[in-house]
Structure 1
């Protein structure tokens, strides 16, 4: 008997899911990276688990079709639903395998290595497992439960490095009970507050809330470096739609508010945040006003950054937050570099790098200089990479695993 189109589609999808499942179980070998360590094991386990789940649903559909116990229209809809879920599995499988190949070729100027370390620092400070980092060709919408962070090509350098903390923040919030409850409750309250306005769905409100909370987390853990990278290099000032532009404003307001909350001594505002805010406000004022008819229905959503900061303090370990003491260290390193630049000298790596220092210390010191010396961007990137490597090497000397300057996953040999 000639198979129907639906049966052919089901058979094809089944083969593809089996390929994805098999790919996640292969013992992959690379010249410069080792994948048999966390968190890569978790990424492959996730692919295997999701592909197996989709296969199980597909087999159930096959049985229903064979027994004639399902309406053809419903059968097509069920197939379409499973196919949609499977596309996410295929995309993740390709991202992980492609990212591994790219990283093994070491074409990323060691930025993935530094991103690994930055995420490991965040993960350790909040008591969670780190995520993997892979190169990405374009904007990849982060998903809260996917344990993958992206470094976007071709903009990968130390200046955009703090942005990976946002994607890790989504995962950390989901995996931390108190933070996740805060996100859910905040989204519910926000939805109730918006219900009387233009039509919005609870899902859209929660997605927006969690995105803003991830920005808050990244600022909370990495300080002004994240705010500078986000506001100066990432947020699209001329986003194509009013809704996109409103989201840009909300994200900037969140990171600025969290900086104000953590800046208990007023040092960050005096040294960097005031200039950053001034640049941002001038750029916003130069844009044409949006048509009220096209306004973002989520534009009225308002989260108080001080309340969010307080919730993050309560949800995560005390050592997770970026503090005025951390900024004092960054300012000291940055001031030394500025003094050397004034004298026409090449900035030297600080002499007081300790095992307790983190990559965020180097990134904040660098942004402290760049805000005052924008022309320092190219030279500063090289200086910062050297300092980041010294911080990593210092951990190796302390028995925490020496990284030999190649782009590889955490724990790779």
Structure 2
């Protein structure tokens, strides 16, 4: 072999990698002949940065090769080959998800037997479209990752290389919608988390390496068993792993796995915090498995009991942190009761369902053993839950309006639960409908799932107006302001605390039968809510009918 032949294999490999990059670029390029038309823009937004990274690695390898730095070029080429599979996998998932949506293969209308007729509205209801509405709502509440792309496809297991949210196929139904909040939270945890969680995540990654500390950290029990064993091997040479688990490669992989587990737990808390009890119900009823995954962490997921602990305890914190809901009008709606008291009741609520599932699966028939399994999760993970809860409540990250949404959705859901077929006449949030459906399922039992699903889908259908809300009915029009109008406007302004304070000040300083001064900020805050806008018009112009 001559010197000229020394790099022939590398040159061939780089040429093939470049061909792959060009092929991917064609899929991401907007053009008239693109098979998915305008969707190419979304695909480019989601994967453009990953493709740019591939091109950067390709150019660097070629530059090193021209400079005679053969070993460096090989190292860069190896990095490129590690990068390309994740890029092509994400693209393939996008292609499949887009195809499903464009051909109405993600239709949410229920069919309980392969020979059944589809049940519900005449037109298909796209799971992807409904899910996108829920995702947009989450994005507006958390103020994070606007423009994230959502697809139906293979459920993601490992770290997130692109801002793409994958939802499990073929679980394209109403009851799986809460998992949107989890997948979105998982993306947030890795791409744009609260500063407090970012610091926590980075510290967890650092501490996986036993060389960074001389003993177990205070939260040692939170870490994977493999990480804890690695620490002990480092302290006791007689326990050293002959396979070289502390080598850079295996250590990096173990750290990646540990961080992925932490981000999944964050996502369970995030989903409960923003989507409410519907997520905890879905997690327990649709993800409980009577197998080793119940108590043993998997390659990319924490054990089920760890995930249920994080979700259920977050709901308990939302229920017991009174400062979040103890001011009017929320305090008036819940009338001195805690919002999630039924769900967090250990003898009748979600925890009791956990016990029943364990007993029914033959895993723990004794109550003490059921409690022991759950409390083992608390014993190991409570320090991390405390930190995640603090991070989620950080108003610098979420903004002032983020927290109350789950309470308003729940108040609406409690009223809507018994009226899915004939809802009240004000606009509802998507998440209120999802929570109402789960509430109705819990109340009516599994035999009522089909009619509940059909009625909830009618409300969620993007092609139909969404109606209903937990609010007073507007009063009959007449001269002078009425308390019903005041209550209606206050309800509509509850999501904008500053504007609500202005309104309360105006009403407090206006005598009965008097006219309120009109505020542009209030008119803008009420935009889109016709009944509340009309009520405010009557308050600012008592003669208006």
> Which TM bucket (shorter chain)?
0.7 to 0.9
Does 2:421 correspond to 1:348?
yes
Aligned to 2:62: 62
Structure 1 residues 379 and 219, CA gap change in structure 2 (3 angstroms): same
Moved more, 156-165 or 19-28: 19-28
Aligned to 2:291: 238
What SS does the corresponding residue of 1:270 show, helix, strand or coil? Answer: coil
Bigger-Rg structure (1/2): 2
What SS does the corresponding residue of 2:297 show, helix, strand or coil? Answer: helix
Match of residue 287, structure 1, among 327, 342, 363: 363
Aligned to 1:252: 308
How far did residue 62 of structure 1 move?
Answer: 2.9
Structure 1 residues 246 and 50, CA gap change in structure 2 (3 angstroms): closer
Aligned to 2:390: 310
Distance 2:132 2:446 in 1: 27
Query: Is the 8 Å Cα contact of residues 57 and 80 (structure 2) preserved in structure 1?
Result: yes
How far did residue 258 of structure 1 move?
Answer: 0.6
Does 2:261 correspond to 1:178?
no
Does 2:169 correspond to 1:153?
yes
Query: Is the 8 Å Cα contact of residues 222 and 360 (structure 1) preserved in structure 2?
Result: yes
Distance 2:57 2:264 in 1: 31
Distance 1:179 1:238 in 2: 34
Unpaired segments of 5 or more residues in structure 2? 108-125, 209-216, 232-253, 321-336, 370-375, 468-526, 530-545
Q: Deviations over 1:307-363 (max 9, x none)?
A: 5333212131233235444323211211x24xxxxxxxxx51312332xx2111011
Aligned to 2:455: 383
Moved more, 158-167 or 309-318: 309-318
TM (normalized to structure 1)? Answer: 0.78
Q: Deviations over 1:205-239 (max 9, x none)?
A: 32221111111111100000111111211244425
What SS does the corresponding residue of 1:135 show, helix, strand or coil? Answer: strand
1:219-230 counterparts in 2 under 5 A?
219-230=272-283
Query: Is the 8 Å Cα contact of residues 359 and 388 (structure 1) preserved in structure 2?
Result: yes
Distance 2:353 2:308 in 1: 12
Does 2:399 correspond to 1:328?
no
1:27-176 counterparts in 2 under 5 A?
27=31, 34-35=38-39, 40=42, 43-71=43-71, 76-109=74-107, 110-128=126-144, 129-136=146-153, 138-141=154-157, 143-144=159-160, 146-173=162-189, 174-176=191-193
* Higher fraction of helix: 1
Distance 2:451 2:137 in 1: 25
Distance 1:167 1:387 in 2: 23
Match of residue 213, structure 1, among 255, 261, 266: 266
How far did residue 117 of structure 1 move?
Answer: 0.3
Moved more, 238-247 or 101-110: 238-247
Does 2:352 correspond to 1:278?
yes
Structure 1 residues 323 and 100, CA gap change in structure 2 (3 angstroms): closer
Distance 1:234 1:254 in 2: 14
Structure 1 residues 75 and 236, CA gap change in structure 2 (3 angstroms): farther
Count of aligned residue pairs for this structure pair: 371
Query: Is the 8 Å Cα contact of residues 359 and 391 (structure 1) preserved in structure 2?
Result: no
Distance 1:33 1:328 in 2: 41
TM (normalized to structure 2)? Answer: 0.60
Structure 1 residues 123 and 183, CA gap change in structure 2 (3 angstroms): farther
Distance 1:54 1:97 in 2: 19
Query: Is the 8 Å Cα contact of residues 257 and 306 (structure 1) preserved in structure 2?
Result: no
| Aligned-residue RMSD, C-alpha | 3.4
The higher-RCO structure (CA 8 Å, 6+ apart) is 1
Unpaired segments of 5 or more residues in structure 1? 290-295, 338-346, 401-413
Distance 2:285 2:384 in 1: 22
Distance 2:37 2:76 in 1: 40
Aligned to 1:404: none
What SS does the corresponding residue of 1:102 show, helix, strand or coil? Answer: helix
Distance 1:32 1:399 in 2: 33
